Amino acid sequence: MRKILAESLAYLILISTPVLAGNWWENIKLKGDLRYRHEMIDNEGSDARHRHRIRARLRIYGNANDYTNIGIQLATGSDNPVSTNRTLDDGFSTKSVNLDMAYLEISPKWEPNMKLTAGKFKNLFYKPGGSELLWDSDLNPEGGLADYTVNTRFYTFTLIGAGLWIEERSSDKDSWIAAGQAIFRYHIDEKKTDVAFGGSRFNYINAKGFEPFFDSAEPMGNTIDANGLYLSDYELLELFVEGNHKFDKIPVTAMFDYVTNTAGHSFNIGWLMGIHVNKTEDPGSWAFRYIYREVEKDAVVGVFTDSDFRGGGTDAKGHEIGGSYQLANNSTLNLTYFINQIGLELNDKEDFRRLQVDLQLKF
């Protein structure tokens, strides 16, 4: 598989830039990871569920020319936009592999601070402390994005603008996102302390009156009408802040993320706060995190938010507790426990518990 991927991308590079034909292998890189997970899900009113899951990803990327990069990633999973996991079941059946990313990056010579990205690419919007309040970490959006960054000794300032394509309809209006974000990071102490803050605007064009995205039968917590159509538009305003400080040799990150759907008339607010302590870098190192969040029904689009919290979707609150320990080079043991309540209204609540134990290997 690795040889086939390398040769395929090499062919693309060769036909687009013959000047590189003599040393194409120097312009290609490979990276990947494998995760084995045991998961327990305990949803009130149902028997506890235990399952074993794998995630495998292989990414190949290289230089097409002096200012253009190409990337392709294959991953396990189904067509679910927020999960590349595959459950071990179905009588030892073979597991599918899908196109998870296919993109190009252009860094114009005339503007070194700018980068243009198009295709299906890694989510490039800033998420304070890795927040998944709006976006699941496995979501790779599709469309076009431009970012402009200014770096100085004392601060970093970034502007991002994007058009993301959700649904193309041959007999009706298309659904897409007009997005913008600004991030300012101030370096209080060059080696120990910095603070980042900023805001985002995500306007979903043609959401209200249309079927839920991806799975038309599953609104993922969002409000729908009697015909199963979105009852609200989604015009999201996000505000966030993140602080980082190193205590001796232990880095600590604290974050707060807030979102409101300005097109919603009620149940339109979500927020998240948390802390990360230390990080895994070398064998024997460890990390810990704690996160609390509340997400009302129409605060965000349910299908794109964190797929692990409350089982995926909105209209929930609760805790996420996690820790990691590095066993060896590129090998980490991770544990995550969710203690959540689904349903924020007084008469519609159920408890949700989820335990994940992961062995993560990278190359």
Q: Using an 8 Å Cβ cutoff, are 135 and 121 in contact?
A: no
Please identify which residue in the block is written with the tokens 């235990």: 50
Strand partners for 284: none
pLDDT range class, residue 24, cuts 50, 70, 90:
low
Q: Which residue has better confidence, 14 or 55?
A: 55
Write the pLDDT tens digit of every residue in 69-117: 999 999 999 999 999 999 999 999 999 999 999 999 999 989 999 999 9
pLDDT attached to residue 190: 72
Is 22 a residue whose pLDDT tops 60? no
Give the total number of structural domains in the chain. Answer: 1
Top pLDDT among 17 and 353 is at 353
Q: How far is CA 129 from CA 76, 238, 255, in A?
A: 26, 14, 6
**Parent domain of 115:** 2-362
The pLDDT assigned to 265 comes to 86
Neighbours of 227 (CB within 10 A): 8
Which of 12-21, 184-193, 194-203 has the highest mean predicted lDDT (pLDDT)?
194-203
Tokens of 52: 């074993």
Q: What pLDDT score was predicted for residue 11? A: 45
Mean of pLDDT values over 33-46: 96
Reply yes or no on whether the pLDDT at 147 is more than 80: yes
Q: What percent of the chain has pLDDT over 90?
A: 87
Residue-wise pLDDT for 322-342, tens only, equals: 999 999 999 999 999 999 999
Assess whether pLDDT exceeds 50 at residue 138: yes
- Over range 266-293, report the average pLDDT: 97
Indicate which CATH number applies to the domain containing 166: 2.40.160.10
Q: Could you give the 3-state DSSP secondary structure of residue 95?
A: coil
**In the structure encoding, which two tokens stand for residue 7, read together?**
């040769």
